[in-house]
Amino acid sequence: MCLDRLIPFDYGRALKYPRRAAIIRVLMSKKTFIAVDLGAGSGRVIAAITDSSKIVLEELHRFDNPGTDLPGGSFWNSIGLYREILEGLRRAVELHGDSIISIGIDTWGCDFGLLGPDGGLLGLPHQYRDPRFNGMAEAMHALMPEVEIYAHTGLKTNFYNTSLHLLAEAKKNSPALREAERLLFMPDLLAYWLTGRQACERTVASTSQLLDPRTGEWARDVIKALGLPDKIFGEIVAPGTVLGPVREEVAAIIGKAGIPVVATACHDTASAVAGIPMEGMGSLWLSSGTWSIMGIESPEAITTEVAYQLGFCNELGVNDSIRFLKNISGLWLLQECKRQWELDGKPLDFAAMSKLAEAAEPFSAFINPDDPAFANAGGMPGKIQAWCKKTGQAVPQDPGAVLRVATDSLALKYRMVFESIKSLTGRDFQRLHAGGGGIQNEALSQATANALGIEVMAGPVEATSCGNVITQMIGTGHLADLQAGRELIHRSFDFKTYQPQDTAAWDAAYASAKELLTRIC
């Protein structure tokens, strides 16, 4: 085992350092769980090494996951992703061998592959930003009113929902849809290639707008109303289900047979929420990444008229919970600014961007991060400037000002969602639990505490991988339940707390932002 990949120091002196000594103890009595974590830009294979008192994460393999525009649409290179996963698993076996207990895969939601009668993939999976969704919301609501779809599925219609993309295929009489025998979401497709079992994991299926959150089964009335082939919607399994061992062909490539693949919490947000160590149902959480997603864990779906009007969704989580949530644009704005400046020959890293934002004048303008103007890639700084000009505000002129507008606007949009959650649930909250890569942006984390007026507890950064791992541990009998898993995470990672500051100024900015949105809507 390659210890220096994890802890580059003199092991003979390890006991002089309590934290490092704890890591050594983990390694000496270890069990290893492999988390495959795929995002809409990159993917990783991570080894989670644990002795059940702490978890140590080791990144084994990182790779890009760029979408590709081809004639006919925007696609994912699913076969390339599978090959990268196999390489990551090969490295895992090489380094950790017999200590490997299981493998779990999580990805973004909604996107899917279609399988033919022979189990073969019928074309590359499309990206959820593929423009085939254009016009499909109106077409779907003509077949079944949106409020009725919401009553069945708990989801408002969004451009990325599986429902719209399948309807687009049906409208054009797609040969792939005509021939398909089974639909599998991205993590299910990759797990099928590893194991040979075709099953849809429940948390990722719940992002489709084709699943009933109350029963955890397909919303057959919606499927029928949209004219989609009923036969493609097959077995649904709960998070933590052991799908089976890797296929012989896979074992030959990675160097080890019999490793079980677990249908973990396969939607990355479901894994992220599981991986944030909250206490009790109803805790307020934020999964911070390309998308920011704020919500609570609820024992039941909330599908009231007000929840529908405000655009809240009910997706499924670990432990039979409902993730009552709202999607917010998130770090997409900052990532796209960074990418544009790199293309312009003026690169900035995220640390420099954060400093520029902090130094700029606060509250000079406000944008709606969820405006369709910001949904597509390209030219983000110019789009922010154009939105400010269009709405009669001061136009940010330099990168620091643009970044400050984006950061303040995200925090104020979080406040809007926060106020809606309080209103819908009748509950007050004293703390927001935030996890994911976005919490590394300390300026945004502090702005979030300021805007909401409550404490923000940030951690872990690797919330998605942590949730993936503890769901595997529950499914394989190595943890009793979700609470035990969250306690394990809390013991294993560092957390940072942000206290609200300048709340009067943020309250005034919030009132101004609400007034602006009311005026332009």
pLDDT at 98: 93
Query: Is the distance from CB of 186 to CB of 231 less than 8 angstroms?
Result: no
Alpha-carbon gap, residue 293 to 434, rounded angstroms:
10
- pTM score > 0.85 for this model? yes
Can you give 260-308 as a three-state secondary structure string? EEEECCCEHHHHHHHCCCCCCCCCEEEEECCCEEEEEEECCCCCCHHHH
Contact 154, 313 (CB under 8 A): yes
Q: What is the pLDDT of residue 375?
A: 85
The answer to whether the beta carbons of residues 287 and 109 sit under 8 Å apart is no
Residue 476's nearest CA partner among 28, 27, 32 is 32
Residue 10 pLDDT:
37
H-run or E-run covering 321 = none
Provide the pLDDT for residue 163: 98
Residue with tokens 């959480």: 285
C-alpha pair distances (Å), 258 with each of 45, 53, 168, 201: 19, 26, 40, 21
Assigned CATH topology for domain 3-263:
Nucleotidyltransferase; domain 5 (3.30.420)
Identical topology for domains 3-263 and 269-328+431-503: yes
For residue 402, what are its two tokens?
A: 């643009």
Q: 269-328+431-503 adopts what CATH topology?
A: Nucleotidyltransferase; domain 5 (3.30.420)
Would you state the structure tokens that stand for residue 60, as one six-digit string? Answer: 């084994």
For residue 34, the cross-strand partners are: 47, 103
| Residue among 311, 302, 273, 41 at smallest CA distance from 159 | 311
pLDDT of residue 26: 53
State the residue for tokens 């919303």.
219
The catalytic position among 64, 268, 349, 481 is: 268
Beta bridge partners of 106: 37
Q: What is the pLDDT of residue 41?
A: 83
| Pairing outcome for strands 292-298 and 182-185 | unpaired
Torsion of CA 204, 83, 115, 149, to 10 degrees: 20
The pair of three-digit structure tokens given for residue 364, joined into one six-digit string: 């000079």
Instruction: Find, among 66, 215, 105, the residue nearest to 152 by Cα.
Output: 215
268 among known catalytic residues: yes
Q: Look at residue 129 in the predicted model and tell me its pLDDT.
A: 86
Say how many CA atoms lie within 13 Å of 10 toward its Cβ. Answer: 3
In the chain, domain spans: 3-263, 269-328+431-503
What residues contact 252, with CB distance under 8 A and at least 6 apart? none
How many other C-beta atoms can be found within 10 angstroms of the C-beta atom of residue 477? 10
Residues of the chain with pLDDT under 70: 1-28, 281
Q: What is the pLDDT of residue 21?
A: 54
All residues at 6 or more sequence positions from 61 whose CB lies less than 8 Å from its CB, including other chains: 44, 45, 84, 87, 88, 91
pLDDT of residue 231: 98
Residues 70, 75: Cα–Cα separation, whole Å: 7
Decide if 325 contacts 315 (C-beta within 8 A): yes
pLDDT given at position 40: 83
CA dihedral 369, 373, 375, 376 (to 10 degrees): -140
